[in-house]
Structure 1
Amino acid sequence: MKRLIVITLTQVIIGLISCSSQTKDLDNLDKVLERIRQIETASYYSTNFFCFSGDTIPIDEKTFEYFNEYTVPADTSVGAYYVKFELSDTTKMIFAYDGKMRARINWKENNFETDDFSKNPWPYRTVIAPFFAKSKALIEYALTTKDSIKIDSVFYKNSVAYKISIFNEEVELVGRLPIHISELGSNEGVISEYIIWINRKTNLPYKFQRTLPANTMIEEISNLKINNLNRNNFAISNYIPVDMPTRTEADNKPKIDLINSIAFNYQLNDLENKSHSLKDISSKVYMINYTSMFCGPCGLSVEFLNDLSKKYSKEDFSFVSLYNENEKKGLLNYIKQHEIKYEILLADKTTLDSYNLHLTPTFLILDNNKRISKIIYGYKKGETEIEIENAIKTLL
């Protein structure tokens, strides 16, 4: 009995310590939030990259950019306006957002495009928030959410790292909004992890890490200057050359009705540089799956595709997954991590444009004449599998 009492008291003490630690971390984060709210404008260099979950080795090349960020609390989508520039020439804008539209400049092709979100299919604006708006959104979420979360802190000589673990939820920050990605299937056992590093001298964040089941994103800023910009002078038009022509999203995405058309005869390489062609396929039904390492639903579809690759004879059905050739560098590790068993090819721009492939994942179902019979966009566990299998059975 005495032993039981000791254990119980120990458990109570541990619980009290844990509770006290959580309260202290929340108090500290609240102070960081107040410090961020004092920022009206900021300029800084940003380094960001993606890697596999649980890893810190970049999948692709790191991105280096220069940002001007303007805090705008009235903007409920992002919470800030911003413009980012080429690092080699910080007078050349490459992307900007001003609360009403976003704009991109392609300096190589000498054109720009704008989007006013009027045709946006989502209930939120798919804009990646700049560093401080993103950090602010994360801390506000941690301080107010009713989700099951845990906060851990690690103190270093000059900084402190706060790790926010979100249990049984896949939570992505889109702009300033925490989006719960629950429509992709059960999130049981899923942990979304965010880490934010705070400079102990300035009490401001300088590094941000987001880890979801699909991948990890890491961003770090340097050469920070605060409240050094004129908020009243910000306008996207200031950064676009007067004589530069426009290129709309409609121009970028060919309007092609592919249903019942003969599929483009691709000639693509696999990861061993062996060439493959659509004309060599002899299956009665063939599927082309456009996918990506950076796409959460794509990762969820791997288990189904592995099973599908073994379900039919090659004479009846076969398929290939196309990854953008720019993803080649990290694909071997991705294939190993996800235990992918089916054929993978690297797609060039000509192939992607010919199939009008811009969204991942996309599934094109071809009949025995290589005519496109059905196109399925997205992957929803429990539904997309049935839709694909019904399309296959219809053509067999």
Structure 2
Amino acid sequence: MTQISLSPLRHLGVATSLALAIGIPALTQAAEPAPALNLPTENGSVSLSDLKGKVVLLDFWASWCGPCRQSFPWMNDMQAKYSDQGFEVVAVNLDQDKEAATEFLDQIPANFTIAYDTEGATPEAYRVMGMPSAYLIDRDGNIHSQHIGFHNDRKDSYEEDIRGLLSTAQN
């Protein structure tokens, strides 16, 4: 499969359209270590190493992303439903203008951690090919699965993956 370069981030719209048009499924292999992540939030910072032992849904989004508007309510539901079992949603905003992200969040609030990467280094490390892109990371910090876009007809499958990882023994 041809790898699409997303540097700089302005090419994400083209990559999103291409990825969705050809229906790219999960792209990662089991047990691939998740790249390091340490990003600012409104209340400090978030690091994947600090979340080891939890199942993490790492979501990349931007204010201009239509499917992101659909995914946020679902991620709020998942955070509320599974946080007591060691589940954490971290959504990384990629807008260069933080005000655009703030306007989005005023309209569609997030009840989970929002991190900011205006430079775009994190999506490059994760080889993000479209918006939104979500990575389900197991308790050991390995990428379990990935999906590009948000599809309402696949919410049950997404949730099944979360439940499956939560059912594994905690280290």
Band the TM-score falls in, shorter-chain normalisation: 0.7 to 0.9
Kept after mapping to 2: 8 A contact 1:283/1:317: no
Matches within 5 A, 1:65-214: 122=21
Offset of 1:301 from its aligned partner?
1.4
CA RMSD of aligned residues (A): 2.6
Kept after mapping to 2: 8 A contact 1:271/1:328: no
Hey, what does 2:138 align to over in structure 1? 367
Kept after mapping to 1: 8 A contact 2:132/2:148: yes
Matches within 5 A, 1:228-267: 257=28, 259-267=30-38
State the alpha-carbon separation in 2 of the partners of residues 324 and 318 from structure 1: 19
Aligned length: 146
State the alpha-carbon separation in 2 of the partners of residues 377 and 355 from structure 1: 12
Runs of 4+, deviation exceeding 6 Å: none
CA deviation digits over 1:190-248, x for unaligned, max 9?
Answer: xxxxxxxxxxxxxxxxxxxxxxxxxxxxxxxxxxxxxxxxxxxxxxxxxxxxxxxxxxx
What residue identity is the alignment partner of 2:72?
Answer: V
Which structure has the higher relative contact order (CA within 8 Å, separation 6+)?
2
Hey, what does 1:50 align to over in structure 2? none
Hey, what does 1:393 align to over in structure 2? 163
2:129 aligns with one of 333, 344, 358: 358
Offset of 1:259 from its aligned partner?
4.2
- The gaps in structure 2 that reach 5 residues or longer are 1-13
CA deviation digits over 1:14-55, x for unaligned, max 9?
Answer: xxxxxxxxxxxxxxxxxxxxxxxxxxxxxxxxxxxxxxxxxx
State the alpha-carbon separation in 1 of the partners of residues 120 and 140 from structure 2: 24
Offset of 1:287 from its aligned partner?
1.0
State the alpha-carbon separation in 1 of the partners of residues 64 and 144 from structure 2: 27
Offset of 1:267 from its aligned partner?
1.0
Alpha carbons of structure 1 residues 121 and 357: separation in structure 2 relative to 1, 3 Å? closer
Hey, what does 1:145 align to over in structure 2? none
Normalised by the length of structure 1, the TM-score is 0.34
Offset of 1:121 from its aligned partner?
6.7
Alpha carbons of structure 1 residues 390 and 257: separation in structure 2 relative to 1, 3 Å? closer
Matches within 5 A, 1:213-362: 257=28, 259-271=30-42, 274-347=44-117, 348-362=119-133
Alpha carbons of structure 1 residues 284 and 359: separation in structure 2 relative to 1, 3 Å? same
Offset of 1:361 from its aligned partner?
1.1
Alpha carbons of structure 1 residues 315 and 364: separation in structure 2 relative to 1, 3 Å? same
Q: Which range is displaced more, 285-294 or 346-355?
A: 346-355
Q: Which has the higher helix share?
A: 2
Is the radius of gyration larger for structure 1 or structure 2? Answer: 1
Normalised by the length of structure 2, the TM-score is 0.74
